[in-house]
């Protein structure tokens, strides 16, 4: 009999691995979770401290989210938008992350039809002029000049991210953001070459990824976050998601992050777990939206039961169809989940709420001091994004010795 100790579950995830041109210390990444720490659309000291703490905690790469490629791609005034003036502060952030032995990725995107007209000072852009209930507004259909300008903005943002020291960019093509709106038949009603079947609907998003790939250069990784399904009838299907992912690979992506849900329709489909309506009402800055949440929040924001690795089933076919790594996000909680991801064909995993709860979890799991997260998926960290920045509210209450108010 061998005297070798048994292999601990999930051990593969804590070995060095390659992602495109990058050599990472393990296969655990911090997912792009909006931090709410960019007052005036610029990175802040709390944002730097947040990602430095995550980097110190042992992930291979942390994702700074969300950075709009232009001023008209924002849904909130606290969302970062890329311009040369913020590059020095972003460089300070990436330097702090690198000092902890961790890589840094910048999630880039455009909100499209759910950009807030009051924030951007005009009508929102969209694939088609379909009324947006989320904003109670009619967006403007993008013309050829709009398509070229926004694609150029993605490339320009990537160039500035490289100057700021980021090792990767994550193109947001999921969650109902602009590129996702082109992919979804619900929001893309175009009758030109960019509308119709999934091949046509993917044409412009794939062009954007190709432009980002060119701007990134040979030393920077390009990830694409894409839906495996939108979460409602008439949206993107899992079968179509495979076709989109292969197009992104052909356009030069180094990895595809498999996610799902539509921010403007099924926001908790991408999270699962409890809907903290009371906290959302308290932190909502807009009086009309606050009143609507207070009166109808339980009806309009659907709750989806939490399930471990909840995008694994529909993301598995995407992972098996690609020659590049697929990244599993959503409900990755412990070592057994890491092994399930590997068995399904995924090359990396992303954690979000588990790291908000405990930034040091990956290092403790790698040492064998922890098997998983004790996050209870109350989602009050989501509500906290609009109330001073993302954080584990439960941890704060435990630290004060006060009972959890849920």
3-class secondary-structure state, position 30? strand
**Biggest CA pair distance of the chain:** 72
Burial class (CB in 10 A: 0-12, 13-18, 19+), 200: middle
The number of residues making up the chain comes to: 406
| Active-site entry in 66, 76, 177, 269 | 177
> Which tokens is 56 given?
């110190």
304 is catalytic: no
Cα separations (Å) of 183 from 115, 200, 204, 236, 262? 18, 9, 9, 7, 12
Question: Residue 133's CB: how many other CB atoms inside 10 A?
Answer: 11
- CA atoms within 13 Å, Cβ hemisphere of 136: 4
CB contact at 8 A, 330 and 29: no
Q: Which of 151, 67, 76, 71 is nearest to 114 (CA)?
A: 76
Q: What phi and psi, each to the nearest 5 degrees, are found at residue 249? A: -60, -45
Catalytic residue positions? 177
């Amino acid at each position: 009999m061998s005297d070798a100790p048994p292999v601990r579950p999930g051990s593969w995830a804590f070995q060095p691995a390659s992602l495109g041109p990058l050599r990472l210390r393990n296969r655990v990444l911090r997912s792009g979770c909006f931090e709410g720490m960019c007052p005036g659309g610029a990175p802040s000291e709390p944002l730097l401290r947040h990602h430095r703490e995550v980097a110190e905690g042992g992930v291979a790469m942390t994702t700074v989210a969300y950075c709009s490629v232009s001023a008209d791609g924002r849904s909130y005034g606290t969302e970062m938008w890329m311009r040369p003036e913020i590059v020095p502060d972003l460089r300070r952030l990436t330097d702090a992350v690198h000092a902890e032995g961790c890589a840094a990725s910048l999630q880039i995107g455009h909100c499209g039809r759910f950009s807030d007209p009051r924030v951007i000072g005009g009508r929102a852009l969209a694939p088609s002029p379909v009324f947006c209930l989320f904003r109670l507004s009619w967006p403007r259909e993008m013309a050829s000049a709009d398509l070229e300008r926004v694609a150029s903005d993605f490339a320009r943002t990537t160039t500035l991210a490289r100057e700021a020291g980021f090792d990767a960019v994550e193109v947001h093509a999921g969650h109902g953001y602009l590129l996702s709106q082109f992919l979804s038949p619900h929001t893309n009603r175009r009758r030109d070459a960019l509308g119709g079947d999934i091949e046509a609907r993917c044409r412009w998003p794939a062009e954007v990824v190709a432009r980002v790939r060119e701007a990134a250069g040979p030393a920077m990784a390009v990830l694409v976050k894409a839906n495996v399904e939108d979460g409602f009838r008439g949206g993107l299907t899992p079968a179509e998601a495979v076709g989109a992912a292969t197009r992104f690979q052909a356009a030069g992506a180094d990895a595809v992050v498999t996610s799902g849900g539509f921010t403007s329709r099924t926001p908790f489909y991408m999270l699962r777990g409890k809907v903290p309506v009371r906290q959302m009402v308290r932190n909502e800055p807009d009086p009309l939206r606050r009143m609507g949440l207070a009166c109808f929040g339980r009806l309009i924001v659907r709750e989806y039961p939490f399930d471990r690795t909840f995008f694994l089933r529909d993301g598995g076919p995407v992972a098996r169809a690609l020659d590049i790594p697929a990244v599993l996000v959503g409900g990755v909680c412990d070592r057994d989940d890491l092994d399930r991801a590997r068995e399904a064909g995924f090359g990396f995993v992303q954690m979000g709420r588990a790291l908000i709860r405990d930034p040091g979890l990956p290092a403790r799991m790698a040492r064998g001091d922890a098997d998983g997260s004790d996050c209870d998926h109350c989602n009050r960290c989501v509500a906290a994004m609009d109330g001073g920045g993302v954080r584990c509210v439960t941890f704060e209450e435990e630290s004060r010795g006060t009972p959890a108010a849920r």
